[in-house]
């Protein structure tokens, strides 16, 4: 019971995460079916803000804007993974009435949005460096963007769902690698 050591506030993080997980698919909210970006916001919060800020709170017993800023690249890049995963079944989603953002934007618009989301994720690392949240050498966390952005030109106006496996894999690798580099840089910074 972490709450016994750091107080009941930590339970708010757990409750928020549980509510997001439940209402992602459960009525009355069903974030994953609304198609207005709610599921993307839910993923950003559940896999970026809540775990990073929650962990920071458990370790320091403080809420700090720097912890939120550290969560932004992780949250955006994790959201990118989910968003790009929707390409693998967007036509089936459309046929079944599931309104993911990929369905709502259409294939071409969703590809553009995917690039914007990836760009924002890596740009947020630069912002974190500029404002002093990350050490300068965290710029290395941008390198995984290179193979990801090399995938985008391979798409045409319309593509088979299977062709998006490469984009999904590149998104996953970029997110994991950037997250690891950010973590390593923060550990090194803490040791110096």
115-168 pLDDT, tens per residue?
Answer: 999 999 999 999 999 999 999 999 999 999 999 999 999 988 778 777 899 999
Give mean pLDDT, residues 74-89: 94
| Cα gap 35→73, rounded to integer Å | 23
Q: How far is CA 135 from the centre of its chain?
A: 21
SS3 157: coil
Q: Is the pLDDT of residue 187 over 60?
A: yes
Element (H, E) at 16: helix 9-23
Q: pLDDT higher for 80 or 40? A: 80
Nearest partner of 56 among 13, 18, 8, 16, judged by Cα: 13
**Residue 182, φ and ψ in degrees, nearest 5:** -60, -45
Query: Where exactly are the structural domains of the chain?
Result: 3-191
How many CB atoms are closer than 10 A to CB 52?
19
Residue 152 in contact with residue 119, Cβ under 8 Å? Answer: no
Band of pLDDT at residue 14, cut at 50, 70 and 90: confident
List Cα–Cα distances, 123 to 126, 138, 140, 155, 175, in angstroms.
5, 12, 12, 23, 13
- Cα four-point dihedral sign 10, 15, 16, 22: positive
pTM here is 0.90
pLDDT digits (tens, 9 = 90+) for 26-68: 888 777 777 678 888 889 999 999 999 988 888 888 889 999 9
Residue 191 in contact with residue 117, Cβ under 8 Å? Answer: no
């Amino acid at each position: 019971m972490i709450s016994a050591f750091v107080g009941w506030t930590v339970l708010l993080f757990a409750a928020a995460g549980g509510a997001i997980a439940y209402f992602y698919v459960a009525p009355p909210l069903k974030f994953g079916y609304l198609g207005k970006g709610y599921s993307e916001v839910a993923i950003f919060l559940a896999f970026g803000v809540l775990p990073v800020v929650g962990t920071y709170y458990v370790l320091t017993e403080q809420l700090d804007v720097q912890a939120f800023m550290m969560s932004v690249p992780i949250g955006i890049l994790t959201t990118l993974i989910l968003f790009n995963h929707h390409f693998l079944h967007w036509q089936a989603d459309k046929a079944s009435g599931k309104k993911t953002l990929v369905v709502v934007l259409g294939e071409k618009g969703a590809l553009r949005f995917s690039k914007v989301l990836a760009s924002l994720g890596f740009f947020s690392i630069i912002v974190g460096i500029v404002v002093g949240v990350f050490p300068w050498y965290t710029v290395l966390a941008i390198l995984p963007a290179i193979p990801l952005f090399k995938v985008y030109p391979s798409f045409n106006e319309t593509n088979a769902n299977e062709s998006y496996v490469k984009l999904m894999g590149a998104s996953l690798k970029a997110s994991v690698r950037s997250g690891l580099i950010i973590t390593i840089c923060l550990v090194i910074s803490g040791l110096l």
